[in-house]
Each structure stands twice: as C-alpha cells, then as structure tokens.
Amino acid sequence: MTTAFSKRTVVPVTELEQSAFCQTDGNLRTKTLEEEFKAGVRWQKVPTRYLKLTPEEIAEGIAFARKEIGSKAVLLGHHYQRDDVIQFADFTGDSYKLSKMAAAAKDAKWIIFCGVHFMAETADILTSPDQNVLLPNMAAGCSMADMAVPRDVQDCWDDIATVLGTTERVIPITYMNSAAAIKAHCGRNGGLVCTSSNADKAFDWALERGDKILFLPDQHLGRNTGIAKGISEDDMVVWNPFLPKGGLTDSEIKAAKVLLWQGHCSVHTRFTVNQIAAARERNTETNIIVHPECTRDVVAAADMYGSTEFILETVAAAPAGTSWGIGTEISMVRRLAAQNPDKDIFCLDPVVCPCATMYRIHPAYVLWVLEGIMAGLAINRIEVELGTRRDALVALERMLEIAG
C-alpha cells in the first residue's frame, strides 16, 4: 500500500529559509521535532506522536525497525546530513555516489534516501520499478534545483533556437542538482547530466558535438568549469529566466560559447575571499580547499577546489599536523574534523549554517518511514513519471559513459 504522500509535493525553497538554522555557537544538537518545528521554515507534517520523541527514543525505535525489516531496506545518507542521521546510514556519499549505490542495491525492496528531492528522483530513475525509493521529509528540496523551472527552461530553449536558427547547435548540460524534468529535457535534446567531479568531461563531450553549451542550473559550477577548460569569461553569459531572452541581446547569445543559467547554491555562495584571507592570517600554512559551487573569486583564491568526495579524500589523505580551511557544508566539515583529530580542520564561514533543506531530514522522519514499512506503507515514495524517467535516464546514461 502507498500512502497519499506518494505523489510529488512541490515545496518551494526560499533563500530566506537557508538562514533559519544558522548559529554562531556551532551547536548543531538535534532537538525534538516539536522544538525544531519552531524554526522559520516549512516542514512536512507527521503524526503527533513523533513530535515529542527524544533523540534517544528515536534511536531506539530506528534500531528496532532496522532489525525487523532487515536487508530489505537500505538507508543512504548524504555527506551533508546531520550526524544523528548519518549514524544509521548503510552507505554515505555525495548524490552521484549514493545514486549508484541505490542502483546496485538490487535486492533491497526499500531505498530510504536521506538527502533531498532531486537525489531521490535520480535514485528512482536508476532503480527497478519494483523497488521503492522513500524520501523521509518531502520538504527536503533544494534551492538550487528549484531555480530551474521546466517551463522557464523550455522558454529559454525556444528563445535560443529562435535567435540561432540552424546555424549553431547548443548542447544542454544539467548539474545533478536539478529536477528529473530538467534531466529529461537534456536527454531529449542531445545533452547530458554532470556532477561536480565530471563537469570537465561533460564540457568536452558537449563541445565535440555542438557549438555552444547551455549549463543548468548552477552558474558558478558552469563558470568555474569553463575557465578550467580554457574558455574566457568573456565567452560566457548569464541567462536570467525572469527577463526576456534571459536579459541578453541577440548578439550576446550568438557570441557566447557558454550560456549559464542564473542559479546558485545558497550554502556555497556564503563563502568569501575575506574568509579565506582571515584563515590565512590565522595560520599562513593553512590549505584552502573549496567546492566548485563557490563563486569565481573564492575558487580563484583557494589552493584547490573539487567535489565533495574530492575534498573528503584530499583532507583525509593529508599529513598529520596540516591545517585545512574548507568551503563546503558545515555538517560534513565537522564530521571530517572529528575523523581526523591529528589535523586542524575548520569551516571558512565562522557562522554555522547547515544546508537548510538537508537539515530537514530529522531522525524522527526516518523512524516514521521505517515504521511505515513495517505497517506495509510506502510513506513518501518518489515516483518519476514514465516519460520523464525515460528521457532523464538517457541523460544520466550519457554521464555514466563519460565517467567510465
């Protein structure tokens, strides 16, 4: 039996909500769900009994449910999840790695994806129809993914075609952090999906087949990748979906090599060159490593940059005694510091701001979906529509081919 939550619930995520969990004392202790509901964000409603459960009661309930369900359920935890969720995960990783793990878990009837909506959609696309992908909290969206609305993307595509005609071919590339409908658009139009670790290969693939790239939805990853490939900033323009023709002239569209969608990550754009300067003033030997979703000036000022997995592997493999100022989500940075006590590891942003959407996967929601499974209910099942699934899979398979 599937509950009424099986259909996609679209919960827009505003930039204002990102600040709801920001703190200055660095305390990310999990409270009861009732207490956390007081934060100024939208939460999915749950049965009343889950609101007052303490972290200890929740942990006991999850342990019991996992034992009862056994290997029929696999719990995936994204690196940006809070520790009180990660402790229950069978596998941890970034969105790409976890989606591959979901696809490999062929014997699991239930895939509980502790991440955000687009990740669960990707897992549903890559798993078999008889498997159930569950997202514990349907309010766990992604502000970046929400910045690329299918209707707006189609309008952009049509405008570009009107300006260029048949003179040049545009290849659409969408970052993994996008809705299934955007991935499907790329699949239908000769494009592909990329991650922060293989965006450079995606650019090569696209430019071997076309003259221009439309990069969705993160302008910063697109710009940083383009520059790394030797494309001048002058040859890249930003498409504003709220303005006619993206706010560009016909000449600008024709001259551009890369058209960057005006989207961004509300976590990674918090990092600044001033924070990097402060970290180096604190310790001149500090290594600065940031995520490519950061702005161009931050990436240029850093010693190195790369995907979530790259940051993890680089810092973990570094010699004892080294110092690392990291520009990515705080929950992951703190966990990395705890796992490497022989190194000085800290977040560049002195204000502690976990990803406001990831943080909505409270352990009580995990318990809710697990107890639903025991009762024969598929709470919050993510099901991508068949046509969208087919076209998005084309774009994902192209990515998997270039990734080797």
Question: Bigger pLDDT: 31 or 210?
Answer: 210
Percent of residues, the chain, with pLDDT higher than 90: 76
Of 114, 104, 118, which Cα lies nearest the Cα of 134? 114
Same domain, 212 and 290: no
Lowest mean pLDDT among 5-9, 119-123, 220-224, 282-286: 5-9
Are the C-beta atoms of residues 227 and 187 closer than 8 Å to each other?
no
* Overall domain count for the chain: 3
- For residue 186, what pLDDT is reported? 98
Question: Does residue 20 sit in the same domain as residue 131?
Answer: yes
The residue behind tokens 């697990």 is 370
pLDDT for the residue numbered 35: 87
What mean pLDDT do residues 369-383 have? 97
58 with 17, same domain: the answer is: yes
Residue 208: inside a domain: yes
Q: Looking at the structure, do residues 257 and 282 belong to the same domain, yes or no?
A: no
User: What pLDDT score does 10 carry?
Assistant: 41
Regarding whether 130 and 35 lie in a shared domain, the answer is: yes
Q: How close are the terminal C-alpha atoms of the chain, in Å?
A: 38
Distance CA(63)–CA(153), nearest Å, equals 44
Q: Is the pLDDT of residue 404 over 70?
A: no
Cis ω for the linkage preceding 341 (within 30 of 0): no
Give 294's Cβ-side CA count (13 Å radius). 28
pTM of the model: 0.90
Residue range 299-303: average pLDDT? Answer: 98
| pLDDT-derived band at 357, boundaries 50, 70, 90 | confident
159 shares its domain with 126: no
Residue whose structure tokens are 């439309």: 214
* Residue 54: Cβ within 10 Å count: 12
In a domain, 240, yes or no: yes
Do 212 and 123 lie in a common domain?
no
CB 44, CB 138: distance < 8 Å: yes
Check the CA dihedral 338-43-349-116 and report its sign. Answer: positive
Instruction: Examine the domain organization and report whether 276 and 294 are in the same domain.
Output: yes
Angle ∠(58,376,75) on CA atoms, nearest 5: 50
Which residue, 263, 288, 306, sits at the end of a domain?
Answer: 263
Determine the structural domain holding residue 279 and report its residue range.
268-347
Average pLDDT over residues 149-174: 96
Based on the fold, state whether residues 137 and 154 are members of the same structural domain. no
pLDDT classification of 187: cutoffs 50, 70, 90: very high
Give domain status of residue 109, yes or no. Answer: yes
- Give the pLDDT score at 354: 66
Same domain, yes or no: 170 and 103: no
Residue 134, classed as helix, strand or coil, is strand
Q: What was the pLDDT predicted at 11?
A: 40
Q: Where are the alpha helices (DSSP H) in 41-94?
A: 55-69, 83-86
For 225-230, what is the mean pLDDT?
97
